[in-house]
Structure 1
Amino acid sequence: MDEADEAIRKQSDEAILVIFTLDSGLYGVDVSQVREITNMRDTTPIPNTSYYVDGVTNLRGQVTTVTDLRRKFGLPEKDKDDSSRMIVVEPDGVPVGMVVDSVSEVLRMPTKEIEAIPEILAESAAGTDIDSEYIKGVGKLNGGELLILLDLEKVVAAA
């Protein structure tokens, strides 16, 4: 975590996170960075874009780039289904849709349960194929499951 994240973390006793799934993993992003969560929409492919860009969609009159997080993170392809969702974020004031397998809940997590990625796991990004630069930290859930907290600015930077 960078110094700004650490300062915010110390000011607050809990983080409020949108929890979603990709493959068999649980992921979270800060709810304050999420504009909306929608059902999947049709996208129009754009030639010569990055392999993980699904295309663009019209979201309430605004053209929005849609990124497939499975592709971006090197996870196996999966057809979109009724549980697939698009999480719309605006880290730099420009909306970007992130395709995820499902959104499960909004969760309040004590910040003491969130840790930086241990050095030994940073290379393999907490046991996933995800580049560690995309990960802010790892949270521990009550059932012992791990929750990977994503750094949205870095995840959508090239979308």
Structure 2
Amino acid sequence: MITVSLYALSGTPVSFPSAYSLLLNQPVRPDQTTSLDFAFDLDSAGRAKLFPTGALHLGRASGIQLTTTAFDSIKVAPTSHYQLDSAVVVDSNSVAILHSIVTSCAYLQQVVYYAKLHVLAIDTTSGPNGRRIDFEILTDINCGYRGLETGLPKR
């Protein structure tokens, strides 16, 4: 599990990361790659939103699902009910389950990777370090596994 900061797609320097790649398990800059799984922005009302690839017009490949289940209680990612083509509004303490864009794995198997995300803080100010979301994320990049626990994959 790692802690990450992303900066809004709008109103921040392009050199700041605004998106995340589950495969790379790190923030990415949308101006440098379209190999991303979700991006962050603030709308005109100041609401924080996470955008799967479909909402960014990059194909309906990745997905986001908000949940009321506590972050530490999520053990296995579901296989359905992901938002594919529109943004989801998040707030501090929101928890989401995500799946990546389809990727090739061992033996040319086509899979998606899964992750769980817990929003720690959202800064809507326009200061030098503002328009930012901080979250912790745990990604399972083991081919064919949906387990979202630390350690060796079991599920």
Higher helix proportion (structure 1 or 2): 1
TM-score by length of 2: 0.24
Higher strand proportion (structure 1 or 2): 1
Q: Could you say which structure has the larger radius of gyration?
A: 1
TM-score by length of 1: 0.24
